[in-house]
């Protein structure tokens, strides 16, 4: 069962075609990677899915619910969350506040309740804080809740972004280069976390990655995109041996890396 279906998605910026008739189907509860050279259109595609860009052509469906034309805040309520290539946390807010904002979509307190201090509002706030603390602990940031997001070390910031995305209670999580800038141990931890998200929480993961170790290590399906077009799709093993992919993206000398 496909949770996300993209059909012939096309995004143009003036004369530049960033995404060109891109088709992909993401299976429910799978870990699906999209790889490709820089500038291939991967992040642009993510932006189209989350409603930040409106594609010129094609359709995107979440469980057969059309997403094209919807505002981002509507799309997140449908169950899609994302992280960003160059981390976009709320820098001057604390870690726990960042996670609390992630919960915005499913909290219900309104103006009057807040001002009057109604018991339902108070209860909800308490529960929200508890949930936020739980999420922080889940991504190994327990005790760091009161640090300003911009003062956290890089690895922690990436994890905080994931916690914030999880706070929106997504069915589908879009991770844009989650292991960028990480050393091997941190990368392994992130890989474990991603698998845990899928295995324990049943979240479908769509991943943009450059580190082949991650892609080949945890993905079930890999889609390769170049110049906005899909050039290959298949299991990691199939992709590794695909000559088009090797030529366009993996490069001749990377056979040694693949063997690792």
Partner 1 sequence: MTQSRLVWQQAIKIGLIGGLAGLLLALVGMVQVFSQRYIISDVISMGHTLLFLTMLFTGYLAAQRTTWPGRRAVLLNSLVAGLTGGIPLALLVIVGSVVNLRLILIHASPELYELLTFGQGTLVGVLLLLAVSAFCGVLAGLFYLLPDLARRVLLAPLASVVVIGVLQDLVRTAIAAWGPLAVINEWLFAANGLTLQGAATIFILIAVVVYVRAKRGSEAQAKFHSLRPSTQRGLRMTGLFLLAVVLLILPQILGLFLSEVLTIVGLYILAGLGLNIVVGYAGLLDLGYVAFYAIGAYTLAILTSPELGFFSLSFWEALPFAIIMGVLSGVILGIPVLKMRGDYLAIVTLGFGEIIRLLVLSDALEPWLGGAQGIGLIPKPFIGGFELAGPQQIYYLILAGCLVVGFIAWRLRDSRLGRAWMAMREDEDVSEAMGINLVSTKLLAFATGAAFSALAGAIFASKLGSVYPHSFNLMYSINVLCLVIVGGIGSIPGVIVGSIALVGLPELLREFAEYRMLVYGAALVAMMLLRPEGLWPEAIHQRELHAEETESTAPAEVL
x/- site string to partner 1, residues 236 to 255, per CB under 8 A? --------------------
Q: Quick one: which of 73, 137, 199, 257 contacts partner 1 (CB under 8 A)? A: 73
Question: Does 71 engage in binding with partner 1 (CB under 8 A)?
Answer: yes
Question: Does 146 engage in binding with partner 1 (CB under 8 A)?
Answer: yes
Sole residue written with tokens 């069915």:
171
Q: How far apart are CA 196 and CA 180, in angstroms?
A: 19
Structure tokens at 70: 């919807």
Closest CA to 35 of 240, 203, 199, 255: 240
Contact 48, 224 (CB under 8 A): no
Q: Quick one: which of 20, 33, 43, 121 contacts partner 1 (CB under 8 A)? A: 121
Instruction: Give min distance, CB of 255 to partner 1, in A.
Output: 39
Number of residues in contact with partner 1 under rule CB under 8 A = 40
Contact 156, 144 (CB under 8 A): yes
Question: Does 69 engage in binding with partner 1 (CB under 8 A)?
Answer: no
What separation in angstroms does the CA of 81 have from each of 2, 27, 65, 236? 17, 16, 16, 25
Our CB check for partner 1 shows the closer of 71 and 237 to be: 71
Instruction: Give min distance, CB of 116 to partner 1, in A.
Output: 8
Q: Quick one: which of 109, 140, 188, 195 contacts partner 1 (CB under 8 A)? A: 109
Distant-in-sequence, close-in-space partners of 251: CB < 8 Å, separation ≥ 6: none
Instruction: Give min distance, CB of 164 to partner 1, in A.
Output: 7
Question: Does 27 engage in binding with partner 1 (CB under 8 A)?
Answer: no
Q: How far apart are CA 30 and CA 86, in angstroms?
A: 25
Q: Quick one: which of 41, 55, 58, 102 contacts partner 1 (CB under 8 A)? A: 102
Question: Does 104 engage in binding with partner 1 (CB under 8 A)?
Answer: yes
């Amino acid at each position: 069962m496909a949770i996300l279906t993209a059909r012939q998605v096309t995004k143009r910026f003036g004369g530049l075609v960033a995404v060109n008739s891109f088709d992909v189907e993401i299976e429910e509860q799978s870990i699906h990677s999209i790889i490709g050279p820089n500038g291939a259109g991967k992040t642009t595609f993510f932006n189209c899915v989350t409603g930040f860009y409106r594609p010129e052509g094609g359709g995107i469906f979440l469980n057969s619910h059309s997403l094209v034309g919807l505002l981002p805040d509507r799309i997140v309520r449908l169950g899609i969350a994302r992280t960003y290539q160059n981390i976009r946390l709320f820098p001057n807010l604390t870690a726990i506040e960042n996670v609390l904002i992630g919960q915005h979509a499913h909290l219900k307190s309104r103006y009057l309740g807040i001002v009057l201090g109604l018991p339902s509002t108070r209860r909800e706030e308490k529960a929200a804080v508890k949930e936020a603390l739980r999420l922080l602990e889940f991504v190994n940031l327990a005790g760091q809740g009161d640090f300003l997001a911009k003062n956290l070390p890089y690895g922690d910031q990436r994890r905080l972004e994931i916690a914030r995305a999880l706070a929106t209670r997504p069915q589908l999580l879009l991770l844009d280069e989650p292991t960028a800038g990480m050393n091997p141990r941190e990368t392994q931890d992130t890989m474990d976390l991603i698998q845990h998200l899928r295995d324990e929480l049943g979240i479908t993961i769509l991943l943009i990655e450059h580190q082949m170790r991650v892609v080949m290590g945890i993905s079930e399906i890999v889609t390769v995109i170049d110049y906005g077009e899909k050039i290959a799709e298949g299991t990691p093993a199939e992709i590794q041996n695909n000559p088009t992919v090797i030529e366009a993206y993996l490069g001749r000398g990377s056979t040694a890396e693949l063997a690792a």
